[in-house]
Structure 1
Amino acid sequence: MTFDPEQLGQPKQELAALLKELRKRAGLTGDRLARRCNMSQSKISRIENGKAQPSLLDLERILRAVVAPPEVIEEVIALARLANTEWQDLRSLRRRGLEKKQTELAALESSSTEFRFFLLSMITGLLSTPEYIRASLAHSPADVTKTIARKLERQEVLYDAKKRFTFILTEQAVRWPLLPPAAMAMQIDRLTSLTHLPNVKLGVIPIAGYKPMAPMDTFTVYDNTLATVENTTGVVILRDPRDIEMHLELFSTLEGYALFGAEARALLTEWAAACRS
């Protein structure tokens, strides 16, 4: 099954319809299928009506109960993966108002307790100075005043001791000259100061050295239950456990390349001094 961003959302209904068709083809009522799967009949009904998203365990039970052939199992698993994927393109986000996206992120940050950020080419808003945030939005055709304010408000979450953050930044993300040198030095100084927060683990990956794994995207994992992957044209939101596990494994590898604590502060201080010179 091919990945078409414009059709994301449709697989949820396709998956529901296919599961319903498989049940009927097997000659089972919703109640009989529920008993075979050790589920409630109401849950089976919600799944078949597209009102509830089945877990991988739910799908495994249903497919076994209806004795689905291998090619159908493959189709169902592919649909389930797409049903757990959402695409938010930048054009649509701009039409809605970028500040609304900030509100969504604030809600996600409020409900999550553990965060893992991998930053490939830029510094995320949670770590940015006001000047850096303004520069990152400079090419937006809309008024970004509210968006800048919301990004700055979101930074308060870093000081919530009940939450844990791990940020991994490449040297390129830290040093990309989005601002004039003096302002970039201040941005790097902010990164250095944040390494002292007890609930924030901030690491940097220097260009030097051998690193056999090459990451392709900026991504964030929230509480092992949701991952977001950013590119130039938008954001992919992943809820499938397999996709999240893949990003957790990648994050662990990248974490092994990063320098933390005093070593990270030494590099950041060196890079800030280079800007000032």
Structure 2
Amino acid sequence: MTFEPGELDRSKADLAETLRTLRKRAGRTQVRLAQRVNMSQTKISNIEGEKITPSLVDVELILRALDAPSSLAARVASLARTANTEWQDVWSQRRTGLEKKQNELAGFERSSTVFRYFLLSMVTGLLATPEYVRASLAHIPGDHSKAIAKKLERQAVLHDTAKRFTFILTEQATRWPYLQGSAMAIQLDHLASVSRLPNVRLGVIPLSGHMPLAPLNTFTVYDTRVATVETSTGAMVFRDHRDISAYLNDFAVYEGYASFGEEARDLLSSWSTQYRS
């Protein structure tokens, strides 16, 4: 499916209007529909008022309760999937301030319990040293002191033992020379240190052996609710269960190729030694 950025915004309004129109044509009140689909009337009202975006399961239940014809149901389900996808371009993020993006990520971290990070090309902010964080924003014009402070502040979530984190980094992500040699060695040592936290599993996929897959993007899955996928010009946010399941499946495959524990720390130590030399 091809998504146009403007289409993603319009689809939410279109979905709400379509569901509202179908309900009225079927002669059902919000209260009656809510009873048939085992939802609250408030939720139905919020869906029709664009205050919340219904999941595909919600939409399918509503369409079934309204006896929507199969041809129409397919079109509305497609609209629902589009509505559950969000595009965040980097230029909008820069205009509104990079700290706003950090606040959004902090919100995901507060509301989630199980985190899965697949890191293809660089270290994520939760695992980065202050120097690495500063370097990651250095190419963007302007004062980013607030965003840097927020990135570093977010790292405290790693010490919340009620949450579980799995990080999978490719060798490229850990070794890409983003900093000068000694600073890169410190970053690699920091990864090894974080890997010892009791609620953190940190794995590394070395560039050796055979791996019959080629990952295309860095992505993160929060519980089983949200998946974010990064590109060079922005990020896609998926809430459709089919998209999330696909990324969970990919993550499980990459997890099988990763080295964890002492084996991962041995790799990180050897790469750190190379930078120091």
Q: TM-score, normalised by structure 2?
A: 0.93
Tell me which residue corresponds to 2:87.
87
Amino acid at match of 1:78: S
Answer whether contact 1:23 1:29 (CA < 8 A) is retained: yes
Tell me which residue corresponds to 1:47.
47
Answer whether contact 2:55 2:239 (CA < 8 A) is retained: no
Deviations 1:90-137 (A, max 9, x none): 111111111121122223212222111110000001111111111111
Between the aligned partners of 2:102 and 2:43, the Cα distance in structure 1 is 33
Moved more, 242-251 or 100-109: 100-109
Amino acid at match of 2:8: L
Tell me which residue corresponds to 2:64.
64
Tell me which residue corresponds to 2:262.
262
Tell me which residue corresponds to 1:18.
18
Provide closer, same or farther for how the CA distance between residues 16 and 134 of structure 1 changes in structure 2, counting only shifts above 3 A.
same
Moved more, 203-212 or 39-48: 39-48
Between the aligned partners of 2:39 and 2:145, the Cα distance in structure 1 is 50
Tell me which residue corresponds to 1:147.
147
Between the aligned partners of 1:74 and 1:114, the Cα distance in structure 2 is 32
Provide closer, same or farther for how the CA distance between residues 35 and 157 of structure 1 changes in structure 2, counting only shifts above 3 A.
closer
Which runs of no fewer than 5 residues in structure 2 stay unpaired? none
- Alignment map for 1:119-198 (pairs within 5 Å): 119-198=119-198
Aligned-pair CA distance for 1:34: 4.2
Amino acid at match of 1:252: A
Amino acid at match of 1:100: K
Amino acid at match of 2:274: A
Between the aligned partners of 1:206 and 1:105, the Cα distance in structure 2 is 28
Matched position secondary structure for 1:169: strand
Aligned-pair CA distance for 1:41: 4.6
Between the aligned partners of 2:30 and 2:134, the Cα distance in structure 1 is 55
Amino acid at match of 2:15: L
Between the aligned partners of 2:40 and 2:134, the Cα distance in structure 1 is 52
Aligned-pair CA distance for 1:257: 0.8
Deviations 1:158-206 (A, max 9, x none): 1122211110000110011111112111111111111111111000001
Tell me which residue corresponds to 2:243.
243
Moved more, 27-36 or 173-182: 27-36
Aligned-pair CA distance for 1:222: 1.1
Between the aligned partners of 1:39 and 1:106, the Cα distance in structure 2 is 29
Amino acid at match of 2:71: E
Tell me which residue corresponds to 1:97.
97
Amino acid at match of 2:250: L
Between the aligned partners of 1:43 and 1:12, the Cα distance in structure 2 is 15
Tell me which residue corresponds to 2:117.
117
Aligned-pair CA distance for 1:241: 1.6
Amino acid at match of 2:135: A
Amino acid at match of 2:55: S
Provide closer, same or farther for how the CA distance between residues 103 and 23 of structure 1 changes in structure 2, counting only shifts above 3 A.
closer
Which runs of no fewer than 5 residues in structure 1 stay unpaired? none
Matched position secondary structure for 1:150: helix
Q: TM-score, normalised by structure 1?
A: 0.93
Provide closer, same or farther for how the CA distance between residues 67 and 134 of structure 1 changes in structure 2, counting only shifts above 3 A.
same
Tell me which residue corresponds to 1:221.
221
Matched position secondary structure for 2:259: coil
Amino acid at match of 2:11: P
